[in-house]
Structure formats: structure tokens, C-alpha cells
Structure 1
Amino acid sequence: MPLTIETTTPDDNLRAEIRALAVAVERADGSPPLSDQTLSQLGSHAVSHVIARAGDALAGYAQLDGDGLEIAAQPDAIGPLLDAVAERDVLLIWSHGGRSRLVAVFQARGFTAIRELHQLRRPLDSEIPIPPVADGVLVRTFVPGRDDAAWLALNAAAFAAHAEQGQWTQADLDARMAESWFDADGFLLAERGDTLLGFHWTKVHPDGSGEVYVLGVAPDAQGLGLGAALLARGLSHLQSRGCPEVLLYVDGDNAAAMRLYERDGFTRFGRDVQWRTVSSL
């Protein structure tokens, strides 16, 4: 059946279709095809949404955000979706996981792999030692509405060199807090007086696995051991929620973070790759 391509802003029904398609692709490929950022923007007018249908069935979805693109699609819809956005100055596209159906298409079209994001995992089947924090430092949970601005400032400082994470806005934070998985009890903050020094935001997936969603420390708080202290407390929280294992993502060129996590028993499990289109070389 021939595909029809349409640009539209998804309504509630289409958003449900996109999420169902993403789940089907994940079951087949082993990794979610769409990031949390993309899922949080399914109803946004600030990004472009392109869908492919085979009759009444949704065969593919692509979201274009600036120069970034993500795709969840049946195999025969991948090429048409790429063609549909080819004139929109697409530069960077992610494939998620080692079995992503996108990889063969990207390679066939001559795209270049430019960045790796490693997924690490470890079991939560043993007691987690909790290291002490520095004098005067308190670890508490995030309070929505009260801590938003201070956390956004800390996040920007901790990830100043990170293209995606360091540019979060209140809208990005609000979108995550609106997700069904958000749990303020799993969003840990380290502070001294009225100053936030670090944080560990955890997530529990529908299958019960936990995630180190974001872990960050202020540049001027480096050397206090907060990374390890917050990591351990977050893992302990996930363990208390019954998570059998925990996963996280770390850039391939972030050697310091890789050492921290591997010291805590994490091992490499999967890999996401960011590709650059031929036209942008």
C-alpha cells in the first residue's frame, strides 16, 4: 500500500498512535526509538511533526527540532520520511540501540556517525554503601514550583558544554514533570545553605528498571565527592522502589563520568549514535 506523508501537529489521538508505534518499534529493535525530549514535544508547535500512513495505519513519525531529527517508523516508511524533510536543512539524526532499523538506511545514504552515547547498566541486587556528604551539605528531595529556577540555573552550569541538557528551559522541566513517570521523591538535591550544589534525578521505567536520568554537580562544587554521594543515594532510592537493575547514558568522550560509573559496577550495554547527513558535510 502506498504511503501518504503529512505535516501536522498531533492531537491526543495521534499522540497515542505515535507512542504505540514507538512501543512496537522498541519491542522489535530492543531500544526506544524516540528520546524523552522528543516524546515531551509531541504536541508542541515549536517543532515540526511529519507522519507517514499506510491507509489508516500510522507507519512512521518524524520530529524535526531545529537541526535535530528523530524517527520512529516501520522499515518501509524510513526513507519517505527522510525524503520529506530533506529540504529542511536536516543536520543531525539519532539512531537508538545497536539493533536500530535506522542504521542500515543511514549507512546506505552515506550519513556519517559523529557522536556516541553509551548505555550502561548494573544490577541492584546487593546493599549499596552510602558515602557521607561534605560538612554543611544536606541532601533532600526536589519541591516542584519552589526549586524550579534554582535547579535550572544549576543544570545550565553543570552542563554548560552539553548541547541538549545544558539548554533546558522551564518548559522542558514542566514537560518532564507532567510525565506519568515523574516522582519528586526520586529527584535528589544537594545544597549548602540556600545554594544548590548538585542533583541526581532518577526515573522508573514501565518495565520496573530504574534510570540515572540526570546527575550533575556545580562546577564550583567539584572535589566534594557529591557525584558519588548522590549516585549512591539515587541508586538506593531506586532499589527501595523494587528496581532490579538501573541504566544510564553517558557520552562516549566523557571519560571521567565513564570511570565514575564503572567503579560503581556499571557495564556497557548498548549504544546510541548521532549521524550527520551528507548535505551538511
Structure 2
Amino acid sequence: MPDLATGPLDADTRAAVVRLAGRIEAEDGAPPLSDQTLTHLGSDDVQHVTARSAGTVAGYAQRGDEGAEIAAEPSAVDDLLDAVLAPGLLIWSHGRRSRLVAALEKRDLQRARELHQLRRPLDTVPEDPPLADRIEVRAFRPGADHAAWLAVNAAAFASHPEQGSWTEADLQARIDEPWFDAAGFLLAERDGELLGYHWTKVHPDGVGEVYVLGIAPAAQGLGLGKALLIRGLRHLSDRGCPDVLLYVDGDNPAAIGLYERAGFTSYDLDVQWRVS
């Protein structure tokens, strides 16, 4: 049985958690911890639980106000679940092969949300759709565009459990990541007003990602979703990415339809489980 400890993580433990997550991703086919969780490894605003076996980090759980994520060797999964599960809590399993699925089903947790991973090759990309009158697309400017982007992001994802609540600290944490590339963070604006954006990402293995695609409510109906999507795909193709992935909620048929029309097909599934 592993030894559990709660409390902030020192630098060595944070590095060990990142290495553990990398090994699990290689074995299970999907990263066990989201970007949001990884950026909070050093935060005092969440609960950290570490499992050690023979002095080595064998598992890690992070719990926020409502949700939790776990990265663990099989021997530590149940102990970490016991440590964080509480009525009403939401917990993620990432990928159909996640080692958490069997343990969560055994505890009779209910599926509360499905997040589909779609993919498509980038060997061909359609021509850029035309933009509505006076709309221009440019690259994000770190610092100068923060306030405008946060406002549009909050409005575009007002009902989204995670994305819509991003803060300046959340944005800056992503900008500080090694993968951040302002040239791949596309903003659409008209007369200086931000209307939408497509933030792309390139993974270490070269696969591209539609990281976030958001349109201001007032700009719906202008065709910006498709226009920004295709321009972002072209950027990733020009970067040499062979394929591109994205995540979309199962209860968002409009977004799923947009992506399917752009050539995306189902690849994997993340599930959020609710403790009754």
C-alpha cells in the first residue's frame, strides 16, 4: 500500500508528477492530467495528494472546488480515489484506455459529461473562407491583447465549466509554456473590436491541436468559426504538423458539425464522472 501525503508539492515532486504523467500517457494513450491541472501543480488554491511507494512518486491527485484528476500507477489508483472522492465531486478519465475507468465503474459513478477527441490529417487544407466586411485576422500580442481576449473568452464560453472561467493568471500560465506560439494564436477583429479567435498548439510529437476556438456571441452568424478554423489548420500545416486534434463536448452538436464538415472524425473519448 502506498503512503499518502497532502499539501503543496516541492519542485522535485512536481517534476516527478510530470514524469509519471508522461509514462501513463505512453501506456494508456492519453495524458492523465489536463493542461489546467498541470499549471496548478504549484498552486495553493487546490488540494494535492501524493502517493509514494518505496520513496518514489506512484500517484498524484489534484482536487479543486468541484473536480479532480488523478495520475497513478495501478497500485495507487484506489487509495487516491479514497482520498479525494466526496458526494457531488466530478472526476475525469482521459481516453477510452484510461486505467481509471474500471475503478470508477466499480464504484458506480455516473457519467456526467463526455468530451470527444476528434482528429484529421493535414495533408490537405481547404482554401481560406472569405471574411465578412472589415474583419481582419492577425496574431495575438502578449500583454496588449490580454484583457480583450479574456472578455471574449468569458462571453463565448459563459456556460462552459472550465474554459469560461479563465483568469489573467490562467492565460499567463499558458503563455509561459514552451509550446506557446503567438503566431498560431489568431484573432479576428473589426474596427479594433475582438470578435473571435483560434488558438492553436503543437505537441512535442508534432501533432497540432485546435486548442481553443471561440466566437463572441455578438459575432455569431458571420461565418467566423469556419474562417478561423481553416486558417488555424493552415498555420499548423505550414508548421509541418502531420495531423491535428481537438476536444469538443458531446452535447455541442453545432461545434461537432462544424468540425466534421472540416474533415474531423472520432478518435478518443474523455469522460467526467459524478460521485452520487
1:86 shift after superposition: 3.7
Aligned-partner residue type, residue 170 of structure 1: E
CA distance in 2, matches of 1:59, 1:165: 30
Query: Secondary structure of 1:32's partner?
Result: coil
1:64 alignment partner in structure 2: 63
Match of 1:134 among 132, 135, 138: 132
**For 1:179-258, what aligned pairs fall within 5 Å after superposition?**
179-258=177-256
Q: 1:115-148: CA deviations, max 9, x gaps? A: 1000000000014311111110010000010000
2:115 alignment partner in structure 1: 117
Q: What RMSD over aligned residues (CA atoms) do the two structures have, in Å? A: 1.0
Is residue 270 of structure 1 aligned with residue 253 of structure 2?
no
Aligned-partner residue type, residue 112 of structure 1: Q
Q: 8 Å contact 1:69–1:90 — kept in the other structure?
A: no
Aligned-partner residue type, residue 58 of structure 1: V
Q: 8 Å contact 2:121–2:243 — kept in the other structure?
A: yes
CA distance in 2, matches of 1:111, 1:86: 10
Structure 1 segments, 4+ long, off by >3 Å, are: none
1:90 shift after superposition: 5.9
5+ residue gaps, structure 1, are none
CA distance in 2, matches of 1:76, 1:125: 42
Is residue 36 of structure 1 aligned with residue 35 of structure 2?
yes
Q: 8 Å contact 2:68–2:84 — kept in the other structure?
A: no
1:193 shift after superposition: 1.1
CA distance in 2, matches of 1:186, 1:11: 33
CA distance in 2, matches of 1:22, 1:193: 44
Q: 1:171-217: CA deviations, max 9, x gaps? A: 11011111111111110000001210000000000000000000011
Task: Tell me the number of residue pairs that the alignment of Structure 1 and Structure 2 aligns.
Answer: 276
Query: Secondary structure of 2:69's partner?
Result: strand
Return the TM-score normalized by structure 2.
0.98
1:70 shift after superposition: 0.1
1:10 shift after superposition: 1.4
Query: Secondary structure of 2:212's partner?
Result: strand
Q: 8 Å contact 1:92–1:276 — kept in the other structure?
A: yes
Q: 1:94-120: CA deviations, max 9, x gaps? A: 000000000000011111111100000
Q: 8 Å contact 2:125–2:233 — kept in the other structure?
A: no
Match of 1:92 among 63, 86, 90: 90
CA distance in 2, matches of 1:40, 1:109: 29
5+ residue gaps, structure 2, are none
2:175 alignment partner in structure 1: 177
1:51 alignment partner in structure 2: 50
Match of 2:145 among 136, 144, 147: 147
1:76 shift after superposition: 1.2
Aligned-partner residue type, residue 46 of structure 1: D
CA distance in 1, matches of 2:74, 2:177: 29
CA distance in 2, matches of 1:86, 1:47: 14
Q: 8 Å contact 1:68–1:90 — kept in the other structure?
A: no
Q: 1:16-51: CA deviations, max 9, x gaps? A: 100100001011100000001001111001111100
1:23 alignment partner in structure 2: 22
1:5 alignment partner in structure 2: 4
